[in-house]
């Protein structure tokens, strides 16, 4: 790990209102800069102290000075912070030598932290990127941690609503042939997301937020033509999307929004001749800035230990079959 550098400097001219504008509600703007750069920020009034890798500290100081100038004339919001960070190439600062800061999520049920390095990496990626992929077997916490991050963002007013999306193909039936209205048709497919929401917020609050449309359920097909600003969007079971559906979903994201895409490439329910949109996204987007990929494995499973052994058994069988078929 690169040695830490400390930089202490004053932002002038001083001013309480200017400082509050820069820091944001509950120091949210400073937290964004910390997470994106990997730098620890401490301040007493307009005197700031930055600790971290040399390049990261230099970038964070540049961003803070630029935002301080803007804070004298304009009201800063998350868009302004995001633009300042993007313009400074802050996303390129954090590399393998910089240890990502631990992300702690606070919700009604208490404090949630990542278990193990992959979950910690996943939470850090969600906090620092606009589009995030969590890929791996059942029981690794992909959906649970995404929902927890979404609930925290809603509680802190960093987003205005949650949009929960799932492709409805598991039953092998068209939605139109299922009984009930749209919500009743889609609800069974979204049950894992609901279960996580109930645990985070409580059933009564979830129902109220659904009534007010603060939490929205949407089958993937109904996302076409929309642009989602200031929203937290979760696409679950993404291995069951087609290439066209995945492209359509990813291009719905607007300003102030975060998207988390979760899926398990080994549990694809699409017809055999159809390539998964999730697999295609891995191939196409791996090198795109501000799109993160976290790959979970059987040792990340946090359910019953038997689940990990089941995952390993299937992976071993698939490897043997691939070898027999001569697949490299």
pLDDT at 287: 87
When computed from its CA atoms, the radius of gyration of the chain, rounded to whole angstroms, is 21
pLDDT at 14 over 80: yes
Q: What is the mean pLDDT of the chain?
A: 83
pLDDT at 242: 92
Please tell me the distance from the alpha carbon of residue 90 to that of residue 81, in angstroms, as a whole number.
Answer: 11
Please tell me the distance from the alpha carbon of residue 5 to that of residue 58, in angstroms, as a whole number.
Answer: 9
Hey, how many other C-beta atoms are within 10 angstroms of the C-beta on 302?
15
Reported as a single tens digit per residue, the pLDDT across 117-159 is 888 889 989 988 899 999 998 888 898 899 999 998 998 888 9
Domains and CATH numbers, the chain: 5-92 (3.30.1370.10), 112-324 (3.40.50.300)
Please tell me the distance from the alpha carbon of residue 126 to that of residue 117, in angstroms, as a whole number.
Answer: 14
Q: For the sheet containing 47-52, what is the strand order?
A: 5-10, 47-52, 40-44
Out of 97-101, 127-131, 208-212, least confident range? 97-101
Is the model more confident about 294 or about 219?
Answer: 294
Closest CA to 249 of 225, 269, 273, 265: 225
pLDDT at 95 over 50: no
CB burial string 12-48: b at 16+ within 10 A, e below: eeebeebeebbbbeeeebbbbbbbbbbbbbebeebeb
pLDDT at 64: 94
pLDDT at 41: 94
pLDDT at 172: 45
Do residues 57 and 9 lie in contact, with contact meaning Cβ atoms separated by under 8 Å?
Answer: no
pLDDT band at 18 (very low <50, low <70, confident <90, very high): very high
Please tell me the distance from the alpha carbon of residue 140 to that of residue 145, in angstroms, as a whole number.
Answer: 9
Please tell me the distance from the alpha carbon of residue 59 to that of residue 61, in angstroms, as a whole number.
Answer: 5
Please tell me the distance from the alpha carbon of residue 55 to that of residue 61, in angstroms, as a whole number.
Answer: 10
Q: What is the pTM of this model?
A: 0.66
Reported as a single tens digit per residue, the pLDDT across 263-317 is 998 888 888 888 999 999 999 998 888 899 999 987 777 666 676 678 778 878 8
Please tell me the distance from the alpha carbon of residue 182 to that of residue 218, in angstroms, as a whole number.
Answer: 9
pLDDT band at 319 (very low <50, low <70, confident <90, very high): confident
Please tell me the distance from the alpha carbon of residue 109 to that of residue 229, in angstroms, as a whole number.
Answer: 28
**What percentage of the chain reaches a pLDDT higher than 90?**
37
**What percentage of the chain reaches a pLDDT higher than 70?**
83
pLDDT at 218: 80
pLDDT at 305: 60
Of the ranges 66-80, 115-129, 187-201, 231-245, the best mean pLDDT one: 231-245
Hey, how many other C-beta atoms are within 10 angstroms of the C-beta on 102?
10
> Is the peptide bond preceding residue 203 cis, with omega within 30 degrees of 0?
no
Cα separation values, 157 from 80, 152, 255, 257, Å: 16, 8, 15, 12
pLDDT band at 96 (very low <50, low <70, confident <90, very high): very low
pLDDT at 328: 53
């Amino acid at each position: 790990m690169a040695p830490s550098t400390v930089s202490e400097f004053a932002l002038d001219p001083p001013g309480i209102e200017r400082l509050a504008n820069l820091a944001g509600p509950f120091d949210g703007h400073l937290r964004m800069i910390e997470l994106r750069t990997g730098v620890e920020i401490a301040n007493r009034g307009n005197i700031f102290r930055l600790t971290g890798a040399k390049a990261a500290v230099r970038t964070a100081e540049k961003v803070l000075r630029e935002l301080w100038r803007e804070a004298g004339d304009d009201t800063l919001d998350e868009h302004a912070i995001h633009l300042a960070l993007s313009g400074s190439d802050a996303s390129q600062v954090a590399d393998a030598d910089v240890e990502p800061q631990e992300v702690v999520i606070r919700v009604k049920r208490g404090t949630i932290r990542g278990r193990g390095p992959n979950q910690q990496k996943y939470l850090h990626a969600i906090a620092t990127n606009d589009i995030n992929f969590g890929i791996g077997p059942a029981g690794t916490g992909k959906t649970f941690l995404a929902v927890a991050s979404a609930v925290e963002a809603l509680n802190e007013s960093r987003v205005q609503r949650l949009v929960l999306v799932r492709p409805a193909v598991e039953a092998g039936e068209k939605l139109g042939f299922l009984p009930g209205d749209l919500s009743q048709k889609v609800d069974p497919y979204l049950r894992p997301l609901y279960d996580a929401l109930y645990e985070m917020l409580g059933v009564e609050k979830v129902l109220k937020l659904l009534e007010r449309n603060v939490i929205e359920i949407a089958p993937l097909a109904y996302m076409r033509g929309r642009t989602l600003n200031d929203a937290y969007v979760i696409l679950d079971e993404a291995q069951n999307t087609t290439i066209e559906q995945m492209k359509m979903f990813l291009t719905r994201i607007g300003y102030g929004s975060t998207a988390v895409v979760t899926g398990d490439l080994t549990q694809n329910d699409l017809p055999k001749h159809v390539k998964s949109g999730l697999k295609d996204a891995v191939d196409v987007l791996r090198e795109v800035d501000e799109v993160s990929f976290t790959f979970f494995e059987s040792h990340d499973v946090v359910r019953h230990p038997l689940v990990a052994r089941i995952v390993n058994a299937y992976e071993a069988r698939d490897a043997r079959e691939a070898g027999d078929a001569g697949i490299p």
